Amino acid sequence: MATLDVDRPMSAEEKKVIFASSLGTVFEWYDFYLYGSLAAIIAKQFFSGLDEGSAFIFALLAFAAGFIVRPFGAIFFGRLGDMIGRKYTFLVTILIMGLSTFIVGILPNYASIGVAAPVILICLRLLQGLALGGEYGGAATYVAEHAPHDKRGAYTSWIQTTATLGLFLSLMVILGTRTAIGEEAFAEWGWRVPFIVSIALLAVSVYIRLSMNESPAFVKMKAEGKTSKAPLTESFGQWKNLKIVILALIGLTAGQAVVWYSGQFYALFFLTQALKVDGATANILVAVSLLIGTPFFIVFGSLSDKIGRKPIIMLGCLLAVLTYFPVFEALTKAANPDLYAAQQKNKVVVTADAAECSFQFNPTGTVKFTSSCDIAKQVLASSSVSYENTAGAAGTPASIKIGEVEIASYSSKGLPADEAKAKSAEFRKAVAEALKAAGYPAKADPAKVDQVKITIILTYLVILVTMVYGPIAAMLVEMFPTRIRYTSMSLPYHIGNGWFGGLLPTTAFAIVAQTGNMYNGLWYPIIIAGMTFVIGMIFVKETKDVDIYADD
């Protein structure tokens, strides 16, 4: 393909359509993140037939379901984008996303229609995931193909801000609704409002996308008859391109994804679930950190035009590996100092026969944990108590030691329902009293929540996000030829972000429940980010000087 005049300044019309693309993507991410922000409430609304712990894990998995199908959306819509164009693919993805989100807002809950409610909810999540799978590659490709050669990092970094701004917008709508109607009404019906009002955002987004022009690179390629007739075969059926797809995944997007989700979503879940900070306060603090940190997407995107994309992304991954454990420990001290002090002063130990301890991950909610070991661990996990595991004699019931107090657990297997319920209440009461005596709080004391320190910590985590995410759109675009760019870059991006990143909250909390240490979930992002750092440093080439309009 002939080289376009890429060094000229962008025209007012090009700036307008790129802004329109970014704004439309803000709305789309708003739709998608509403579910993540309201996971705890949705768990009670749609999985109320399950115990509290299983319902929350089920809700997280339903959230992850939208991520699991994202690579399939990338393949389907990427193929369309490379064959028929970027603009019309945008319209389809926004319509699917917006309508699915609106329907969640009017969907009857478990109490109204039983098991059909969670089934329909997960189907809607799958549709959202498919739509989002086709969104990002198109937006990044579209903007990069409009941008001047020496400003691709700067211009595509505006697309990178849209995910954070979408999350910020969703948190603000949630907070505004909560404040207006109160927590009780919000938990009962008010949570539906942010989903329902998204129909207005959908209307605006469709209007904006109809006003956009097609990418000049695609228009020129189509006029010359050089569009790909088989984007999937060219992207993944030929080793010369497939090896770049694989490197883009394990050497870039996998690490970027876990740093992104650790810094924004896992931090929010950690505050509310592990540290027991009330939802409204946690949302405000995360929103403030996003507001402070978001401009750094542009800073690092622009910096990548000067020093390269790779050094910034790799440094972000390395800092995550080196600092996550001390940073999240500092978060515990700032958010719930009573919990931190209790953990240091009075260790909790579970002694149990290893043969009767099950893995605590129960995504379907159908498994009933009945052994004395499982019951002991469930009670401690639900109270956000870190504990050590000690092997007990074979055949003996598990016990929990809190400071100097030891409480014997029980097995509910074979017990009549009434007797099992009575034993559960008695056991939970004994554990709660022992924890209280040892200084373990039931929830974070609002008077002791250091909001300034928490905001500083969260802002640091967001800045790591901006380092790995700000330059990555330009880098992915530059790795692949125009004729198969949409398809080729979308798949590694969405496997990285959909699978490695989207499954992070569920996987991390399952690790915590299994091991008993509230920080052990961090091993997941640390290992993945470390893998990306090593592979990226050795095998991934710098791309900032690539001519993306050169003949394919």
pLDDT of residue 166: 83
CB-CB neighbours of 238 under 10 Å: 11
Mean pLDDT over residues 368-380, rounded?
83
Q: Quick one: pLDDT band at residue 66, thresholds 50, 70, 90?
A: confident
Is 60 exceeded by the pLDDT of residue 5?
Answer: no
Q: What is residue 172's three-state secondary structure? A: helix
Handedness of CA 258, 331, 509, 160 (dihedral sign): negative
| Range from 4-18, 144-158, 445-459 carrying the lowest mean pLDDT | 4-18
Is 50 exceeded by the pLDDT of residue 2?
Answer: no
pLDDT of residue 360: 58
pLDDT of residue 6: 45
| Range from 65-74, 294-303, 348-357, 446-455 carrying the lowest mean pLDDT | 65-74
Mean pLDDT over residues 210-236, rounded?
71
- Give the H/E segment covering residue 544: none
Alpha-carbon distance 284 to 204, whole Å?
26
Is 80 exceeded by the pLDDT of residue 384?
Answer: no
Which domains does the chain possess? 12-336+446-539 (1.20.1250.20), 345-437 (3.40.30)
Mean pLDDT over residues 235-254, rounded?
88
Mean per-residue pLDDT of the chain: 83
pLDDT > 70: percent of the chain: 88
Mean pLDDT over residues 445-466, rounded?
95
pLDDT of residue 264: 80
| Range from 210-224, 323-337, 360-374, 407-421 carrying the lowest mean pLDDT | 360-374
pLDDT of residue 364: 37
pLDDT of residue 461: 97
Is 90 exceeded by the pLDDT of residue 221?
Answer: no
- Give the H/E segment covering residue 391: strand 388-391
pLDDT of residue 217: 64
- Give the H/E segment covering residue 312: helix 309-335
| Range from 184-198, 205-219, 320-334 carrying the lowest mean pLDDT | 205-219
Mean pLDDT over residues 90-106, rounded?
87
Considering only residues 409 and 165, tell me which one the structure prediction assigns the higher pLDDT.
Answer: 409
> What pLDDT, in 10s, does the model give residues 113-156?
877 888 888 888 888 888 888 877 778 887 887 788 888 898 88
Q: Quick one: pLDDT band at residue 3, thresholds 50, 70, 90?
A: very low
Backbone phi, then psi, for 165, in 5-degree steps? Answer: -65, -35
pLDDT of residue 49: 67
Considering only residues 18 and 489, tell me which one the structure prediction assigns the higher pLDDT.
Answer: 489
Is 50 exceeded by the pLDDT of residue 164?
Answer: yes
Is 80 exceeded by the pLDDT of residue 50?
Answer: no
pLDDT of residue 366: 41
| Range from 52-56, 58-62, 73-77, 474-478 carrying the lowest mean pLDDT | 52-56
Helices (H), 183-308: 183-185, 192-196, 198-210, 216-223, 231-236, 239-248, 254-261, 267-269, 279-293, 295-307
Q: What is residue 215's three-state secondary structure? A: coil
Is 70 exceeded by the pLDDT of residue 341?
Answer: yes
pLDDT of residue 414: 79
Range 53-77 burial, b when 16+ CB lie within 10 A, else e: bbbbbbbbbbbbbbbbbbbbbbbbb
Alpha-carbon distance 185 to 52, whole Å?
20
Is 60 exceeded by the pLDDT of residue 34?
Answer: yes
Is 60 exceeded by the pLDDT of residue 548?
Answer: yes
Any residues with CB less than 8 A from the CB of 488 and at least 6 apart, and which? Answer: 78, 231, 235, 241, 244, 245, 479, 480, 481
> What pLDDT, in 10s, does the model give residues 491-525?
888 888 878 887 787 788 778 877 888 899 999 99
- Give the H/E segment covering residue 408: strand 405-408
pLDDT of residue 265: 81
Is 70 exceeded by the pLDDT of residue 215?
Answer: no
pTM: 0.82
Mean pLDDT over residues 68-82, rounded?
82
